[in-house]
Amino acid sequence: MGVHWIYRVSNPAVRMMLFLLSRWEVEGKENVPREGPLLVVANHMTNLDPPLLSVSLGRYAMFMAKEGLFRTKLSNYFIRGLGGFPVRRERMQREALIAAEQVLNNGYALCIFPEGMRSRTAQLRQAFPGAAMIAIRTGVPILPAAITGTETVKGAVWLRRPRLTVTFGQPFQLPPPAGNNNRDKCAEYIMERIAELLPPEYRGVYANTGTEQAT
């Protein structure tokens, strides 16, 4: 599994666009392991989030993307070239789990949006268990990330150079015990670690989570 030419071309192009058209900031960059398998979990508001998160990481990353994006041959080729592979929102099928484990076994970063879909309100939604299932099965470090500002990028707003921020927390492991029967609690734990990095107005259903709860 190598880095596709589409990824090699698009990554610097996205960086240039962000520098020119926004006030892009990355906080906690020192928390990102430079190598080795890594499960990156983040909140999700717009289609800008995946490329923004990818370039902010500073290392090759692959993404789980909704199945509907792969319907045509062209979109399938392009999204896979960017490091994406399909998954169903409602349930984590065996094929997606195997693909995720292969990414991590190859020492890459795997990015997942645990909410499973974009939040139209920019506030955190209840998580699906997919990210927790992968974390439980693989035991790899989990890197929480918080994205803010992408919900403001609409139309000519680029002319005002919106502030886009990606904040990385410290990598963590799921607390014991970890097992399939515990996956919902693990999913909640993962979302709480994301919420800790977000301003209060973004926390949504995790509004009671604060930085004082960080471990």
Question: How are beta strands 163-168 and 142-148 bridged, if at all?
Answer: antiparallel
Query: Model confidence over 170-185: pLDDT tens digits?
Result: 999 988 765 555 888 9
Query: Model confidence over 113-170: pLDDT tens digits?
Result: 999 889 999 999 999 888 998 999 999 999 999 999 999 998 766 678 999 999 999 9
Provide the whole-model pTM: 0.88
Q: SS3 helix, strand, coil % of the chain, rounded to 5?
A: 45, 20, 35
Structural domains in the chain plus CATH codes: 5-209 (3.40.1130.10)
- The whole-angstrom distance between residue 55's C-alpha and the CA centroid of its chain comes to 12
